[in-house]
Chain A
Amino acid sequence: MLSAHPIDVLVAGGGNAGLCAAMVASEAGARVLVLECAPRDFRGGNSRHTRNLRYMHEAPDEILTGAYPEEEFWQDLSRVTKGKTNEPLARLAIRFSAGVGRWMTDRGVRLQPPLEGTLHLGRTNAFFLGGGKALVNAYYRTAEHLGVEVVYQAEVAGLEVKDGAFSSANVVHEGREYRVAAKAFVAASGGFEANIPWLKESWGEVADNFIIRGTPYNQGRVLKALLAAGMKQVGDPKQCHAVAVDGRAPKFDGGIVTRVDAVPFGIVVNQDAVRFYDEGEDFWPKRYAIWGRLIAEQPGQIGHVIIDAKPIGKFMPTVFPPIVRNSIRELAEALKLDPGVLDTTVERFNRSVRPGTFDPGALDSCTTEGLDPPKSHWAVAIDRPPFSAYSLRPGITFTYLGVEVDGDARIFLKSGEPTRNLYAAGEIMAGNILGQGYLAGFGMTIGTVFGRIAGRKAAEHAAR
């Protein structure tokens, strides 16, 4: 049942961004209602699958070592987005992330140094003790303690917006429709990655072969309602965070465990049994997020990583066992690839490998010569049986298409005018900053920073 109390700030979405907005608005004295479309067990959107957050700091703090100043953060971001970003908003996200670790611990989140197997993130990223669901639980506890009202399985079906002013939302809850009026509205309902028909609008039928790593509840309904109500769109509908995941992963909600980190240790072939990209271009943590897209562009949206016996045990354990055979031909048959072609691909690769010193901790000297595409590092002959393979699919984490906002998290109208009382935070506006590419832990930074801004501004507007 939805309460009949008058609401100051209505928050759509109970993930990290929505909860940050709700807590801040409530701390500022606003009466806040959070609508979470998932049931309680699956609350928190994609935040329940996250594990860290990147934040700027000028000096070491309780968790992070060294310093991670604004300029370096900005350079890191520029590199991955290749300039496709809104610089003022990006710099705002970076600057406002300073000291956020303390703000989070004050609200019940517990941070820890990097986990085993998470390379080189000790200076830039704080990890959540227990992972994203622990963070989500802590924020719900804090929000409820502050007096924030939360309704689960409540979906926003439509918005009443007139002349850039929000008045109420149509909410479906337990089979009934309600009109919920509020003085301000915060959209924090994530991307639309779980909406396969919507993905097909830009990707075509191939989207049927995508695996959605996160929540099945991110259907993009609020985003659609906002666009229908005349808000300005930002970002390319095809752009998203996509990694290579095990093809046996569940269609939705498989999360972190479905990833396969074997790529730099072998070669990746498509269903024609030929290679298509440099597997050793850079360190895996810097490259894992491009492989989803690379595989999405292959025929049948499938790739097969092939390794021999040498790297077993050198990469993170996988949740599904590899397919193991004693020869490349047998492996090809098991993968339904042409055995002759795969044999040739592996043989040509092996012949092109130059002697070097193998070192997974460095951009080592093991490289190929005369091979197209090359394998720039960690190129070692695949010759010691048994041979193992994992079949990979594109695993979509979240989409970048969203609504355009200003530095106050206020949503713009198509006309370019800012709305009066509509705000956005998290994945639904991440496309302002992430035109393409990704930086580990930055989604949570955007959600936290803009969630806090949206909550404060929405509460200020409501108090007027």
Chain B
Amino acid sequence: MPLADLLKEGERIMIICNACRYCEGHCAVFPAMEQRTEFPPRDLAYLANLCHDCGSCYHHCQYAPPHEFAVNVPETFKGIREQTYRQYAWPRALSGLFESNAIATAAVVISTIVLLGFLAVSVAAPGAMYQPHEGPGAFYEIVPHDAMIVLFGVVWMFALVAFAVGFARFWRDSGPGGKISARHLGRATLDILRLRYLDGGAGDGCTYPREAPSQARRVFHHFTYYGFLFCLASTTVAAIYDNFLARKAPYPILSAPVLLGIVGGVGLLVGPIGLSILKFRSDPVPNPRSRLVMDVTFLVLLFLTSATGFLLLVLRSTAAMGPLLALHLGFVLGLFATLPYGKFVHAVYRFAALLRYAVEKPAS
């Protein structure tokens, strides 16, 4: 559906929802809606990103299709969210990566794997690529330390700038100024950490993948994002070890970076598998398959990044270490490079929307 039609549909259903309000207790979207009487594109962008896509408002809607009003908030908001990701992307020239997201992501990740492979082959001593390396600094015999720092540093910084610009653009559009206090930040952060709005409003969980309330979505999402956070923590600790404590990778199993990485890596195996299964089981009316491509692309990428990490961990003292290191680092670099142009950005805009909600929420 073209953007103009999506926005028109969004406005149409919000006017129906605002005259009904039965879903008020399910999540933040409807109380936020009730503070508005008109639904121009910027407000729809805000409401769509506030939506956690839990499905309750669809399964409980007396006006859901096949009713002639055909109110389908989850589907419409998914469409509008995808558009906001493009609209707020930085640099704008790269917003096209959201189009054909699976192919674009695969192309980037293959490029980064090839790049790492090329780097390893051209830098490692002749023949060293396929020999076991052990002890501190072993990884750097395949991919040099400085190259790693520069490559990952640049890509990560780029991603952070893209997030910050996207956040700022969203914030500017989502409402009038609004003073952000520590309480607002704390509230939005807590809402994210608990995935408060995947609880269905009464704690039974959301109506996903089907009509019966279930905690499955929330649990697997927790696996995924806490997995991601643990892996991020692992990388950060390793960087501190390496650059400030002069402790060179690879680290023993019983070290903070490896333990954090194992915990996070398990999360990134279990979570994406669970979420993917739920997606394929989900009701196709609120979750049209065409709108799942970007989600599944990101889940596959997370899974493969984690899987290659485990392979590297298990086989790091064998001759396979060299190629596996290049492969894993290729995935990690590809993941970081595509973060601002795929499903990951939902975290940025969801947080921004929850922050806006905390700011504009009337004291109750």
Contacts and interface: CB of A to CB of B under 8 A. Distances in A.
B204 to A, nearest CB: 7
Contacts of B37: 313, 317
Given A112-B201, A115-B24, A133 B15 contact: no
A137 B211 contact: yes
Contacts of B200: 110
Interface in B1-24: 15-16, 18-24
Given A317-B18, A319-B15, A133 B24 contact: no
Given A257-B16, A313-B37, A116 B21 contact: yes
A127 B34 CA distance: 18
Contacts of A259: 19
A130 B15 contact: no
Interface in B55-87: 56-57, 59-63, 66-69
A41 B66 contact: yes
A361 interface: no
B23 A130 contact: yes
B25 interface: yes
B60 A131 contact: yes
Nearest to A132: B62
Interface string A108-132: 0010100111000000000111111
B211 A49 contact: no
Interface stretch (A67-75, A154-162, A248-256, A267-275): A248-256
Given A49-B62, A256-B19, A318-B19, A130 B25 contact: yes
A115 B21 contact: yes
Interface in A125-179: 127-134, 137, 141
B157 interface: no
B62 A131 contact: yes
B328 interface: no
Contacts, number: 83
B133 interface: no
Interface in B189-215: 200-202, 204, 211-212
Given A116-B34, A253-B67, A130 B56 contact: yes
Nearest to A116: B34
Given A49-B62, A110-B202, A116-B34, A129 B16 contact: no
Nearest to B35: A116
Nearest to A129: B25
B211 A317 contact: no
Contacts of A318: 19
A246 to B, nearest CB: 10
Given A41-B66, A257-B16, A129 B26 contact: yes
A110 B205 CA distance: 12
A457 interface: no
Contacts of A319: 15-16, 19
A316 interface: yes
Contacts of A293: none
A54 interface: no
Contacts of B62: 48-49, 131-133, 253, 255
A57 interface: no
Contacts of A133: 59-62
Contacts of A110: 200-202, 204
B26 A130 contact: yes
Nearest to A130: B60
Contacts of B67: 41-42, 253
Nearest to A41: B66
For chain B, the bracket of interface size reads 20 to 34
A250 B68 contact: yes
B57 to A, nearest CB: 8
A51 interface: yes
B296 to A, nearest CB: 28
Contacts of B19: 256-257, 259, 316-319
A129 B201 contact: yes
Most buried by B among A116, A253, A317, A319: A317
B37 to A, nearest CB: 6
Most buried by B among A141, A257, A316: A257
Contacts of B59: 133-134, 137
A257 to B, nearest CB: 4
Interface string A231-270: 0000000000000000000100101110100000000000
Contacts of A51: 22
B15 A317 contact: yes
A18 to B, nearest CB: 18
Contacts of A256: 19-20, 22
Given A115-B24, A316-B19, A130 B201 contact: yes
B238 to A, nearest CB: 46
Contacts of B211: 137, 141
Interface string A429-444: 0000000000000000
Given A112-B201, A137-B60, A255-B63, A130 B16 contact: no
Contacts of A257: 16, 19-20, 63, 69
Interface string A304-329: 00000000010011110000000000
Nearest to A46: B62
B22 A131 contact: yes
Most buried by A among B21, B57, B59, B68: B21
A12 B204 CA distance: 31
Nearest to A114: B24
Contacts of A117: 21
Contacts of A317: 15, 18-19, 37
Contacts of A130: 22-23, 25-26, 56-57, 60, 201
Contacts of B25: 112, 115, 127, 129-130
Nearest to A214: B62
A253 B66 CA distance: 12
A318 B20 CA distance: 9
A141 B62 CA distance: 17
A133 B57 CA distance: 10
A26 B282 CA distance: 31
A316 B20 CA distance: 9
Contacts of B60: 130-131, 133-134, 137
B84 to A, nearest CB: 24
A133 B64 CA distance: 11
Contacts of B31: 116
B68 to A, nearest CB: 6
Interface in B40-65: 56-57, 59-63
Nearest to B204: A110
Contacts of B26: 129-130
> Which 8 residue pairs are nearest across A and B when measured between Cβ atoms?
A131-B22, A130-B60, A257-B19, A110-B202, A134-B60, A319-B19, A112-B25, A129-B25
Given A129-B25, A137-B60, A255-B20, 20 more contacts: A41-B67, A48-B62, A110-B201, A116-B34, A117-B21, A129-B202, A130-B57, A130-B201, A131-B23, A132-B62, A134-B56, A134-B59, A137-B59, A141-B211, A253-B68, A256-B19, A317-B19, A317-B37, A319-B16, A319-B19
10 contacts: A112-B25, A129-B201, A130-B56, A133-B59, A133-B60, A133-B62, A255-B62, A256-B20, A257-B20, A313-B37
